[in-house]
Amino acid sequence: MISEPEPISLSIDRGQAWGVVGRNGSGKSSLAIHLLKENHRLFSRPAFVSFELEDQLLEREIREDDSEFMDRQDPGRTVRELLEEVWVEGALSTESLSQDLGMTEYLDRGFRLLSTGERRRLMVARALAQLPDFLILDEPFDGVDQDSRRQLSRIIEKLRHQLTLVIVVNRMAELEAFVDHVFCVENGLCVFRGSYLEAKENQVFQQLVAVSDPQVRIPQTLSGARFNDSTIIPVEMREVSVIHGGREVISNLTWKVERGQNWKISGPNGCGKSTLVNLVSGDHPQCYSNDVSVMGMRRGFGETIWEIKEFLGIVSPSLHQLYRVSTSAISTVLSGFFDSVGVYQEVSPDQVKIARQWLDLIGLHRQSEVPFRSLSFGQQRLLLIARALVKQPALLILDEPCQGLDPLNRALVLKVIDRIVSSGLTQLLYITHEPEDQLVCLTHHLRHDGRHWVEEVLSP
């Protein structure tokens, strides 16, 4: 039942399966960490899967990067090595875990060469390799493609009968078939605890997790960089091929984004979607060894990275993981005016005013001075979205922008994107695994069918 809000406290019995649901910044992940510490004595082998732990693993791999001592990029520890370093006797073998989670084909690939979804599956496999008796999964489905989601669902459904399970999610629908009990968090307080059936039938609880049509007022903008020459093609690639760690990620791709076109880009984990947009943004070194032109400028032919970035607004999992500077929420948004990670030059009163309008829009005005890394993962992602949109760029590159967002914030972000792109001043490249990420402004679809890239025109 819905009760008066109370301090977060959750008692878990052995063999139970709990779902924890709440909005971004509600305190879900803090509760998960508390549960891990609180139940450490009750359970002998607790395990945890979260974006934060994934970040810590990436930090370690970056610290130990030996590329400068090698004649090639150091790919980091392989998936096999990362599983074997935590494996305990009695757990499934590395090969069996890889097969169950669809990781066999990249078992000997380095961590830094993995896609977002591939890393997510690895983190689940590392937890299972520890033969846990208590497992907490914080947003296990974010960033994984539909096939991988089905594989992971089958594993979780089996696990719920073998150990004590807690699944932390933003979306209530992701708990079905996995949990018996639901705990709802709001503003750091418990507002509901009960059975999954009670949660589904409780009208007040359903209002807490429902998606409404958000009211959107787009903040004003300063006159940003625009390509006024109608003959300029925003993006053009000719026979592009990219090799990572001896594997051809993109093969002989020719693709063009004409003026006025807005593209959805989709495909399975590891097919090269993020690599594709990194070629456009200039964040991939092989953009200079390929025929890639952005805003009429051929990569590697005398342009500076800043000459192109001034036209771009970017959100991506890699940017999120690399945004490690000590900076406040408002400075994160302001950095979008300068295409930098952090702010290192004087900002104008108008820029500060616009940044504060964006903080209001995404509901983080009270956290304007809070350090970026002190906020929840979803709140961090909202800030990076505002950072990309603050100058309303000529080309918006959004790689899984709604990862980690609750339904309400997802609806807000999609509506803001639609509104800005439909103005005609901004074009869009949008990568997503989520069928529910519907954008009216999309005109074309570039999808990978598992073997080839296929172009489609979307119906208006």
Residues 116-145 pLDDT 10s: 889 999 999 999 999 999 999 999 988 888
pTM higher than 0.75 for the full model?
yes
Contact predicate 447/270, CB 8 Å:
no
The whole-number average pLDDT for the span 278-297 is 85
Residues near 333 by beta carbon (within 8 Å), at least 6 away in sequence: 355, 358, 359, 383, 386, 387, 390
CA count, 13 A, side-chain hemisphere, 184: 27
pLDDT tens sequence across 364-402: 999 999 999 899 989 999 999 999 999 889 899 999 999
For the segment(s) 235-457, the CATH number from 1.10.760.10, 3.90.550.10, 3.40.50.300, 3.30.70.20 is: 3.40.50.300
CA-to-CA separations, 337 to 140, 330, 345, 417, in angstroms, rounded: 33, 12, 11, 18
User: Rounded to 5 degrees, what are φ and ψ at 235?
Assistant: -140, 135
Is the model's pLDDT at 4 over the cut of 70? no
Q: Are 306 and 245 in contact (CB under 8 A)?
A: no
Higher pLDDT, 425 or 162: 162
pLDDT greater than 70 at residue 34: yes
Architecture of domain 2-209: 3-Layer(aba) Sandwich (3.40)
Q: Name the average pLDDT for the chain.
A: 86
User: Residue 73: its pLDDT value, please?
Assistant: 64
Q: Which residues contact 66 (CB under 8 A, 6 or more apart)?
A: 74
Rounded to the nearest 5°, which phi and psi values hold at 382? -60, -40
Average pLDDT over every residue of 415-434: 90
Mean pLDDT of 172-200: 86
pLDDT recorded at residue 74 = 67
**pLDDT recorded at residue 288:** 81
Q: How confident is the model at residue 210 (pLDDT cuts 50, 70, 90)?
A: low
Q: What are the beta bridge partners of residue 430?
A: 264, 398
Q: Would the CATH topology of 2-209 be identical to that of 235-457?
A: yes
Domain boundaries, the chain: 2-209, 235-457
Per the model's pLDDT, the better-predicted residue between 153 and 66 turns out to be 153
The per-residue pLDDT for 1 is: 47
75-121 pLDDT, tens per residue? 789 999 999 999 999 999 999 999 999 899 889 988 888 888 899 99
Range list of H helices, 167-265: 196-201, 203-209
